[in-house]
Structure 1
Amino acid sequence: MARYNAWQNDQLKPVLEAMSPGDLAKDRGAFFGGLLATANHLLWADTIWLSRFDPSMPAPEGGIPESVDLHPTISSWAADRFRVDGKIRFWAEGLRALDLKGELTWFSGALGREVTAPMASTVMHFFNHQTHHRGQLHAMLTAAGQKAPVSDLFIMPKEA
């Protein structure tokens, strides 16, 4: 799923980079509004989850409301997205079955309290959350007349 995440983001970058700042910022009725806001939230969420899984990773600034403003431009988002995707792949490649045992405890800003959940479930949530918001990006791109990336797992290149 880490490879899939990076492959999907690599396909999104050129499509988003070809769009005007106005088109990226336009509120398209998604939960986080527009394309850049949604892409920013997803990058912020990936970073915060990665910091929970690997405490040596710094957590991003702010909470969910501020997540949409993580990067002011698609260029700065793309550079950070590339960096974080590499960290996700490195972390995932080092995971072993034993690492998915036990529980993870963290403070949830969404719930306003400490939460404990099975580690395996939190990792599944991490990757599911990516897919959820990329689905929103796909729908917004399609509605904007853009060619949305291919998302079928079986089409993912082996070298991705």
Structure 2
Amino acid sequence: MMMGREALVCMADYHVWAHNTLLSALHQVSDADLHADVGLFFTSIFGTLNHMLVGEARLWYPRFAEQASPRMALNQIVETDRQLLCLQLQQSALQWQTFVAGLPSDAALPSHLEYVSSAGVPFRLPYAATLLHVFNHATHHRGQITAGLTALGYPCPELDLVYMLQQQSAKI
């Protein structure tokens, strides 16, 4: 699968925008509702946010940026304070945006990413497609969180990529 740098930059920008949009919507959610079991894979909105932080900041970023293979449970609660959790997710998204902006041209992108999974299994995967996975993974879990918000009776933000693109084109 070929993935151009320009598309990865767009996805990194979307990642920042969608995180900020979702996290802003969560300000209205009570602590009890944030921790409530709403039937998500990681049980609650809070558990899902922690999973997102584990995946993008604690596992995938070191794999890409540091050629490291950290090991930790995907359901580990790494931050118990909601404000710090949201701040760390925003910082992680910005870190990805900076990382992708610094990638070389399409022709010079690495062809593969080699790492060892949390289960100790070595992998060699297509670099650009695996980087795209990081952003797709967050999109998947943001969708789960909006389903949780709906189940709890809260309004949900529009998170489709096209809304970011429309906002960007309106500024031109």
TM-score bucket (shorter structure): 0.7 to 0.9
- Are positions 1:70 and 2:70 aligned together? no
Using a 3 Å threshold, how does the CA distance of structure 1 residues 141 and 10 change in structure 2: closer, same or farther?
same
Mapped partners of 2:39, 2:108: distance in 1: 39
**Any idea what SS the aligned residue of 2:90 has?**
helix
Q: 1:39-89 deviations in whole A, cap 9, x for unaligned?
A: 111121111211111008x877732131xx121122011111121111111
Mapped partners of 1:8, 1:35: distance in 2: 16
Gaps spanning 5+ residues in structure 1: where?
none
What does residue 33 of structure 1 align with?
Answer: 43
Mapped partners of 2:71, 2:113: distance in 1: 21
Within 5 A, what are the aligned runs for 1:112-151? 112-151=120-159
Indicate which of 95, 101, 109 corresponds to 1:93. 101
Cα deviation, residue 99, structure 1: 4.8
TM-score, normalised to structure 2's length? 0.81
Mapped partners of 2:150, 2:22: distance in 1: 12
State the AA in 2 paired with 1:146. Y
What does residue 3 of structure 2 align with?
Answer: none
User: In 1, are the aligned partners of 2:22 and 2:159 still within 8 Å (CA)?
Assistant: no
Gaps spanning 5+ residues in structure 2: where?
1-10
Identity of aligned residues (%): 32
Indicate which of 83, 89, 92 corresponds to 1:81. 89
Mapped partners of 1:101, 1:61: distance in 2: 23
Indicate which of 16, 19, 31 corresponds to 1:9. 19
- Between Structure 1 and Structure 2, how many residues are aligned? 155
Provide the aligned C-alpha RMSD in A: 2.0
State the AA in 1 paired with 2:117. S
TM-score, normalised to structure 1's length? 0.87
